[in-house]
Amino acid sequence: MSRTLAPGKLVIATHNKGKLREIQALLAPYGLECLSAGELGLPEPAETGTTFVENALIKAHAAARAANLPALSDDSGLSVAALGGAPGVYTADWAEAAPFEGGPGRDWYMAMGKVEGKLAELGPDAPRDCWFSCVLAIAWPDGEAVSYEGRADGTLTWPPRGTLGFGYDPVFVPVGDTRTFAELDPAEKHAISHRADAFAKLVAAQFAG
């Protein structure tokens, strides 16, 4: 049996406020006091992995060591079948924009446009199937770690629609719906998202019973 979280403080190893809100909402029923890496002033480690699992573990281990507390990290991204799975683990890199005061900026509209542009190069009949992946990793200060992977399948739409999500949500239409993730009420998205899928596996392992 894998190690499980005890009640107390848990570092959420992200500086992404949208991602933090989703994770906090998912963790709310379990009595954990969530602190973000951002509010603790923890640096963002270089994500040098080539898979979502590797990058999630890099972030979780770095936060757990720096804060001397258990840490939960998320590595997630969009994969497009017609683009050979790109952007995949480089999802955030495709959104890198010109630096601004305080650090590099991310322009998600630019990133969505880059995906659409590459699909347009393939012609009007290019398949638009895609999926979001999410790996949640928990690490403890002593180096032990576990990870859980989730997925949400869908298709890409253009132009972007909705204002409720973040990242590539405005162009992602989940299977079984006609609305984008950014048009769904957060509670609806939490029920079907890649993060929710990974979180359900985490809950089954960490909090069952």
Mean pLDDT of 45-50: 91
Domain boundaries, the chain: 8-206
Q: Does the predicted model carry a pTM greater than 0.75?
A: yes
* Active centre residues (catalytic): 75
Q: Give the residue among 78, 53, 66, 195 at the shortest CA–CA distance from 138.
A: 53
CB 63 within 8 A of CB 139: yes
Percent of the chain with pLDDT over 70: 94
* Cα–Cα distances in angstroms (integers) from residue 208 to residues 15, 30, 202, in the given order: 29, 11, 9
What pLDDT was estimated at residue 49?
A: 92
> What integer best gives the mean pLDDT of the chain?
89
What span, in angstroms and rounded, lies between the C-alpha atoms of 9 and 140? 12
What pLDDT was estimated at residue 105?
A: 63
CB 72 within 8 A of CB 62: no
Query: Would you tell me how many other CB atoms lie within 10 Å of the CB of residue 93?
Result: 12
Reported CATH class of domain 8-206? alpha beta
pLDDT band at 104 (very low <50, low <70, confident <90, very high): low
SS (H, E, C) 41-71: CCCCCCCCCCCHHHHHHHHHHHHHHHHCCCE
User: Which tens digit of pLDDT belongs to each residue from 152-200?
Assistant: 999 999 999 999 988 899 999 999 999 999 999 988 998 899 988 999 9
Mean pLDDT of 104-126: 88
Mean pLDDT of 132-159: 96
CB 69 within 8 A of CB 142: no
